[in-house]
Amino acid sequence: MQIGKFDRSRLVMFLSADVVGSTAFKAAAQSETGPDSWLGAFETLFRELPLIFIGHLARQFIEEDDLPESGVWKVMGDEVVFAALPQSLAHAQLITAAFCGAVSSYDQRIAERWPLRIRGCCWGAEIGERNRAIEIPEMLGGSEDSPYLDFLGPDIDIGFRLSGHSRPGEVILSPNLAEAFAEQPDQRDLRFHFVGEAPLKGVCAGQPFPLVLVSLVSAGDTEFDIIPAPDLAARLIATRIRMRDQHGALPAPPVRLDQG
């Protein structure tokens, strides 16, 4: 991705896959068989998960002309964060569906090999006013000709707070994406699960923040109650208004793109 892509308002989707149980796994493996015994698991995960995600993207976009621009944005400890540039809300829905499929399938796969699970978080940030893209040529691997591209802003920070409320094998969705998706006439195999609220440190004046899981209809039964899309949209709208009017908080509005 180049900085020139963000000279106007542009939605970037961030998709985080976080390893659950990694600390205990590393400690146990190191004490039993040596310090490098856990390394293979994480090398495998960081190599395989991007390929799995690309495969699910290809299936979701099989009737589209092109795949969206996407790739690994950064790896932080045991967390892989992808970034993707949807051209429309429909594309954003398909990207989310692909990520749900990748997290669910790879969670099962990794659990069969090691005592590990993965959980997902999907959130969106409109780069322009609330959030910004910057170039950092001094970063390791960057240069003046090919600088490292980073993203900064409150809507980007929210995802890292929100990801801790996801669950193994599941994907949690930011309210600004959930509300936009829920207002669409076609959910494109997505279904929503409202699982409560929780304050996120430093977010929206500490007010309880909506927690919305997203899954695929085609995945079959789920342990979570399904909330109809219109009901979810109405609930998220009411929450935004309450935060603004009663607490002066300014949560991100629902993302807006060409309907596609």
Say if CB 11 and CB 96 are below 8 A apart: no
CA atoms within a 13 Å half-sphere pointing along the CA-CB vector of 232 = 31
pLDDT at 184 over 90: yes
DSSP string spanning 183-215? TSS--TTEEEEEEEEEE-TTSGGG-EEEEEEEE
Q: How far is CA 203 from CA 106, 139, 153, 238, in A?
A: 30, 28, 12, 17
Q: What is the mean pLDDT of residues 201-226?
A: 89
Amino acid at 220: G
Give the CATH architecture of domain 3-247. 2-Layer Sandwich (3.30)
Q: 112 vs 17, 40, 49, 105, 109, CA distance in Å?
A: 18, 15, 15, 11, 5
Task: Using the predicted structure, report yes or no on whether residue 259 has a pLDDT greater than 60.
Answer: no
Tens of pLDDT, residue by residue over 13-63, are 999 999 998 888 887 877 665 656 678 788 888 899 999 999 999 999 999
- For residue range 71-114, what is the model confidence (pLDDT) as tens digits? 999 888 889 999 999 999 999 999 999 999 999 999 999 999 88
**91 contacts 260 by C-beta, under 8 angstroms:** yes
Torsion angle (degrees, nearest 10) of CA 186, 190, 195, 199: -80
Most confident range, picked from 16-20, 39-43, 145-149, 247-251: 16-20
Q: Which of 45-59, 108-122, 241-255 has the lowest mean pLDDT?
A: 241-255
Mean pLDDT of all residues in 110-130: 91
Phi-psi region of 77 (alpha: psi -120 to 50; beta: other; left: phi over 0): left
pLDDT of residue 260: 45
Q: How many angstroms from the chain centroid is the CA of residue 129? A: 21
Domain boundaries in the chain?
A: 3-247
- Please report where in the chains the tokens 């594309």 appear, as a residue: 91
